[in-house]
Amino acid sequence: MSSAASGYFRRLGRRLTEDIDQLDAEELAEKSEASGARRASECRRGDEATMLGRLRSVEACPKSAGAAVQAEFFDGTDAITLVWIGRRRIPGIEPGRRILVRGRVGDRDGRKVIYNPYYELRGNS
- Convert the pLDDT of each residue in 37-96 to its tens digit: 888 888 899 999 999 988 999 998 766 667 889 999 998 888 999 999 988 889 999 998
Which CATH number belongs to the domain containing residue 96 in this structure?
2.40.50.140
Domain that holds residue 36: 3-123
**Tens digits of residue pLDDT in 7-28:** 666 665 655 555 656 656 667 6
The more confidently predicted of residues 96 and 113 is 113
84: Cβ–Cβ under 8 A, 6 or more apart, which residues?
68, 69, 70, 90, 93, 115, 116, 117
pTM: 0.74
The more confidently predicted of residues 103 and 12 is 103
Asked whether the predicted pLDDT for residue 3 surpasses 70, the reply is: no
Quick one: which of 85, 93, 90, 88 has its CA closest to 113?
85
Number of domains in the chain: 1
Quick one: which of 100, 9, 92, 106 has its CA closest to 51?
100
